[in-house]
Amino acid sequence: MLDELPELANLDEEPICLHADWAIWRIGQRFPAETLAKFRAGSATARPAWRCALAEQMIRLPETPGIEAAVVELLAGFAGFAHQRVAADLLVIVIRALNELRRPDEAKRVFHEFHGLLPKAERQWVRNALDRKLAPSGFAEAVAGFSIGEICSERILMEDRDEEKKEKKEEDEEEAVAGRRRRLRFLGSA
């Protein structure tokens, strides 16, 4: 199952991505060593954008031997894609992951080794991004309390499209009423 979920997590449709992301996280919580092994096996040939997602998933795993090395391995072949915008994102995610894993010396080493491979503008962006203190994503805390039933049957992560349509209809009706009132006031003053 873990083989198919990354494809779903990579889609542009947010509700599907959220569910796939949750499923990957859930599998990782239950089988961290096996999940990390799968991530590592696919990381060498992964596109840079997928490597970013892998880094984010790796940092969500419970303490598992090899996470630090696996996160750094995501930078394999970095020189070949350093000109792509996503390379800067990947470098920031990897450095932040290493810091979260309490490996600041390794984070500094990675910064010095890979930062200079980026185009000048991207180097500046990386420095700025690393200077900003971001709050943790809170993904694990946000989804940890949901059961499989709530995620799958009740579709708790899905936006309620019917509710959105209802709200839009009410807004349109309110705007129509306001427009009629403005016309009546205009006609009454004429």
Per residue in 84-134, pLDDT (tens digit) is 989 999 999 999 999 989 999 999 999 999 999 999 989 999 998 888 865
Instruction: Give the N- to C-terminal CA distance of the chain in Å, as an integer.
Output: 71
pLDDT tens profile 16-51: 667 777 778 788 889 999 989 988 888 878 888 888
Distance CA 27, CA 34 (A): 9
Q: How far is CA 1 from the centre of its chain?
A: 20
Q: What is the spatial distance between Cα 137 and Cα 56, in angstroms, rounded to a whole number?
A: 10
| Residue whose token pair is 């990579």 | 10
The SS3 assignment for 24 reads helix
The pTM (predicted TM-score) of the whole model is 0.68
